[in-house]
Amino acid sequence: MVEPHPRGVLFVCLGNICRSPTVEAVARAEFARAGLDVPVASCGTGDWHVGQGADARAVHAARFAGYDLSPHRARQLEAEDFSRYRMVLGMDGSNMADLRRACPEALHSRLGLFLDMTGAAPPSDLPDPYNGTDEDFEHVVVLARRGVRGLIRMLQNGTKAEP
């Protein structure tokens, strides 16, 4: 069933242990600071990490920046997510391809690439730090903040954010 007035933003990456939970935590905190009552969640297109907590390196990088990923538990994208959320934002082009394949055509307008939608590009893709260094995880937090700031402007103004 398609929600008549869906709310919220769903952030989607591959395994839901690095990028999307980081963006979710940043969005939750920054939306609250901005006075926005917008539900946020995250998930992955794959099922490898379902039920697991966020990657320890993501937890550390987020904690250092003032965000808490400790309650996070990975989950996989569900068909109902497309009708449940106003926006479903992929972290990179590969995630977007998976989302377009899984999403009913009538709901494609709800899909977007996180950094593009928020006017925070470049880069358009939020790089996957999983096989990288601690600095790569820290960079994800920086890009998440930039993207979330753009998303806040977009939600407050009702338009696409400008960089």
Catalytic positions, written as ranges: 13, 19, 128
- Residue 44 corresponds to which amino acid? G
Burial 102-138 (b: 16+ CB within 10 A, else e): bbeeeeeebbbbbbbbbbbbeeebbebbbeeeeebbb
Handedness of CA 49, 72, 55, 144 (dihedral sign): positive
Q: Provide the 3-class DSSP secondary structure of residue 88.
A: strand
> How distant, in Å, are the alpha carbons of 6, 18, 40, 56, 146 from that of 122?
29, 20, 23, 27, 11
